Amino acid sequence: MAKFSINDFHGVIPALVTAFDLDGTLNEDLTRGLTASLLSRGVDGFYLTGSTGEGFMMSPDERMRVVQVVCDEVAGRVPVMVHVGAISTYQTVALAQQAEAAGADAISSVPPIYWPFTPDQIVNYYTDVTASTSLPMVAYNITLAGALGFDMLARLATIEGLKGVKYTAPTHFEIGRMKREIGPQFRVFSGADEMAMSGLAFGADGLIGSFYNIIPELYADLTKAMAEGRLDDAKALQDKANDIIFFTLQQYPMSAVKRVMAWQGADAGYCRKPFDNYETPEQEAALKDAFRAFRDSHDLSGIGFLDGI
């Protein structure tokens, strides 16, 4: 049974990576360890098996197992939202019901993918999935899986139990519009890490993203600065975060995030192919050298993993 309500999701919520061995095997022990590490660093919740979690790279049974392992490790200390999106309503409902049974507090989904579904079919999808559990649903707007425009989100907001959106898009004026026209009770989670300050400025209720796996403290400080109206401080923190984000995106991005987590004492394993990996000690050493050179050429003191390498 869920412990938290949708209003308990706020602050800095990592879109949790999933740990795999180099051969692609799901590593439950590492997944448990990285969850515990982020809890110790004060994150405000978790978002599981989404894009960052390589959810579409896993079988339904593997996705279910990740949710079980993480919910068991979290043990009700922070709220957990599970991405359950799949190519069919049938499969999505099964994932949603398993997430509820495992102790998740909310579910989330991209719209149905691959075929060009009609607006009515998309609404029917969210209606059916939301009705399949007692958990609140958060729609997931991301261009990779088919963007949900304002008019569609307004329609989805009328579905009983659909309580918000994970909004991963640069059009942050829509966040303000949702808060005004759909209503302040409709929860909006900013999903663009490089625009967290903007998302919060337009009224986002929290942050969900990839880089909160490696620099959650920086974003916690940014969130606090925004809440206190210290805009100059918030901008300086966003600039630091963006330097790190843009540099990491020039590497093998998700594999680099996982290696950085390992340098912080929480080995997150590797990515599944066809993603690239830093497979050898020499490749990882070169990555670390690149981060050192990057650190030394930027004003990035006080960033834990950069100070530590």
Alpha-carbon Rg for the chain, nearest whole angstrom, is 19
Whichever domain contains 100, its CATH number is 3.20.20.70
- Residue of 47, 126, 140, 167 marked active site: 140
146-161 tens-digit pLDDT: 779 999 999 999 999 9
- Residue of 166, 179, 240, 258 marked active site: 166
Residue-level pLDDT at 142:
85
User: pTM of whole model > 0.95?
Assistant: yes
Is 167 noted as a catalytic residue in this protein? Answer: no
Look-up of token digits 């990057």: 294
Residue-level pLDDT at 299:
83
* 295 in any annotated domain: no
CA distance between the termini of the chain? 42
Burial letters for 177-187: b for 16+ Cβ neighbours within 10 Å, e otherwise? bbbeebeeebb
* Pairwise CA distance, residues 309 & 305, whole Å: 6
Is 140 noted as a catalytic residue in this protein? Answer: yes
Do 81 and 104 touch, CB atoms closer than 8 A? yes
* Pairwise CA distance, residues 69 & 27, whole Å: 10
261-278 tens-digit pLDDT: 999 999 999 999 999 999
Nearest by Cα to 74 from 124, 28, 37: 37
CB atoms within 10 A of CB 308: 9
* Pairwise CA distance, residues 127 & 161, whole Å: 9
* Total of domains in the chain: 1
Tell me which residue range forms the domain holding 116.
6-276
Q: What phi and psi, each to the nearest 5 degrees, are found at residue 218?
A: -60, -45
97-144 tens-digit pLDDT: 999 999 999 999 999 988 999 999 999 999 999 999 999 999 999 877
* 125 in any annotated domain: yes
3-state SS record for the chain:
CCCCCHHHCCEEEEECCCCECCCCCECHHHHHHHHHHHHHCCCCCEEECCCCCCHHHCCHHHHHHHHHHHHHHHCCCCCEEEECCCCCHHHHHHHHHHHHHHCCCEEEECCCCCCCCCHHHHHHHHHHHHHCCCCCEEEEEEHHHCCCCHHHHHHHCCCCCEEEEEEECCCCHHHHHHHHHHCCCCEEEECCHHHHHHHHHCCCCEEEECHHHCCHHHHHHHHHHHHCCCHHHHHHHHHHHHHHHHHHHCCCHHHHHHHHHHHCCCCCEECCCCCCCCCCHHHHHHHHHHHHHHHHCCCCCCCHHHHHC
Residue-level pLDDT at 143:
79
Residue-level pLDDT at 144:
73
* 79 in any annotated domain: yes
* 116 in any annotated domain: yes
- pLDDT per residue, tens digit, the chain (309 aa), is 789 999 999 999 999 999 999 999 999 999 999 999 999 999 999 999 999 999 999 999 999 999 999 999 999 999 999 999 999 999 999 999 999 999 999 999 999 988 999 999 999 999 999 999 999 999 999 877 677 999 999 999 999 999 999 999 999 999 999 999 999 999 999 999 999 999 999 999 999 999 999 999 999 999 999 999 999 999 999 999 999 999 999 999 999 999 999 999 999 999 999 999 999 999 999 999 999 999 999 988 889 899 989
